[in-house]
Amino acid sequence: MVLRKWGLLLSSILLALIFASMAIIPPAPQSGTIAADRFSSARAMTDLRIIAAKPHPTGSDENAKVREYLSMRLDSLGLKVNLGEGELGERALKRLNKWSGENKSEQAIFNVIGILPGTDVSKPAVLLMAHHDTVWDSPGAADDTVGIVSILEIVRALKESGPHERGLIVLFTDGEEVGLSGARHFFSSNPLRDKVGAVINFEARGGGGTANLFQTSKQNGAAMRVFAKAVKQPSASSLSTFVYNVLPNDTDLTPALEGDYTAYNIANIGGAEYYHSPKIEVEALDERTLQHMGSQGLDLTRALLAADTLPDKKPDATFFDVFGLATIIYAPFWGWIFLGLAGLCYGLSLKGEIRTKEILSGAVKMLIFFGLGGGLLYGLNVMSGSGAGANYYDRLAAIRKLEGLAVFFCAAAFFAVFGPKALTVNARLGAALPLFLLGIVGQAFAPTATYFISLPLMLCGFKSLMMQRWPSHIGTKLAVVILTAGVAGYMIALGHLLMLGIGPDLLSVSILPAALAALVILPLYEGVKKKTAYFLAMTALLVSAAIALWVRLDPIAATIPLY
């Protein structure tokens, strides 16, 4: 009886968790015995153990040793190596002096540059970039040694496939952690900048997680089609590129974006407690993260080197990966079509039986879930210690707890708002209406970032239509499980990435993917007794409040930076 009533929903949730895991867990590391032209994290780890043995901030003796090692490694790979020397600016020097306790009046920086000429010198080169300096007292096994060794292994693998018409330039910058100094010096004064046509920057934010394409050059339509076609285990999102460009963040790619280059920025995001941490030693790095970064970087570099012409400027595209299996890409105007199809499917599912009161009731319920839920999440975040005076890195270390807080609260909100009884098809249309409004606003002002609303709404509408027109067909049941799991799984993964990106400061952001997950679950939710629903809601709310207090009262994490 239980399986008959809840079987489809439970199957959908289980499959959603599998899909979400595929999206947020990086692929398995590859041994040194795999084909020589493929990326091997095991081979790259050999370099990583040497480079990340000790902290090596700009100007230190250890940094000089790292530069010497990198020069030797590039030379052994057949690249022509030189150093690009510059000086730290006043602000960068002030920050370095604050870290070290010294009072230097000047500090030289040294970019390590390697050149692998192509057979056709008239073609613009591809530049691979990562920074070789670390923050103070951090060995930097992730930030940015993972990017450095990814490039070394990429170059080694590319050499196995023979010479390329297009040249390859490797740029290991200095002084990134004190103001992007090495990158600014290269892109402002090094003559090689004029020979570059495309740039891939590798960065790190934490000691694990997937490696994500989170930023591109403007007018990325053609550039992203190259990525979508070439990269076999992608993690990419035009939502991420939109959010990152809105936030006040910079990487070494920032100076490159001032030029007319095709540009990509790839970074891992996960294991957030290790961001800039003194504890991010080799053993703390997730090798799967290195494998994911390097395999994507190799696929993309190989495609760019093989291209007759590098991608030109085309209108920005909407794109996202489907659980790490492939990248979907399309023109943003399709978002309007998806919203229109969603409305059509919901309308047809009513079979002409429009009940205004039920539609209004569903809309009110979703507004309460979304509006009041977001407000209460904001309050719980304040309770957890967010706000003025909070230690940013300590908040990053608490992300797992904060994710648990968000999950329990969203469960509490679901049972409180939707728990007592199943919604009719009219009420489910009403529940979709506030999200339709968000989709329309998003499509008008941020069309490349709104796919995660417009596309799920279309799938929810199609699912509603199937369930109303062919409720007993086995094909309907199978499609319903897959569609529910697909949307819910994507929202779980999206919620996780949003938490890693901005959750510690803006916990309420998790209510939006939760609302979309609730919308796709509602047609399969049969309802429970009112007392049971409110008991579950209160219990989950108390757990979320307890987690908030736990985060607030926890001692400062041992992983926070010492500077």
Tens digit of pLDDT for each residue in 350-402? 988 899 999 999 999 999 999 999 999 999 999 999 988 899 999 999 999 99
Residue 292, token pair as written in the block: 């994911």
Model pLDDT, residue 4 = 67
On whether the CB atoms of residues 363 and 512 are closer than 8 A, the answer is no
Model pLDDT, residue 248 = 83
Tens digit of pLDDT for each residue in 243-291? 998 888 899 999 999 999 999 999 999 999 999 999 999 999 999 999 9
Spell out the domain ranges in the chain.
26-330, 355-449+470-481+493-553
Residue holding tokens 């991608």?
A: 311
Tens digit of pLDDT for each residue in 437-494? 999 999 999 999 999 999 999 999 999 999 999 988 899 999 999 999 999 999 999 9
Please, what is the Cα angle at 419 between 416 and 423, to 5 degrees? Answer: 125
Taken as a whole, the chain contains a residue count of 563
- Percent of the chain's residues with pLDDT above 70: 99
Interval 51-79 mean pLDDT: 98
Tens digit of pLDDT for each residue in 193-225? 999 999 999 999 999 999 999 999 999 999 999
Domain at 26-330: CATH code: 3.40.630.10
Q: Spell out the SS3 assignment of 510-527.
A: HHHHHHHHHHHHHHHCCC
Residue 81, φ and ψ in degrees, nearest 5 = -110, 140
SS3 444: helix
How far apart (Å, rounded) are the C-alpha atoms in residues 264 and 253? 8
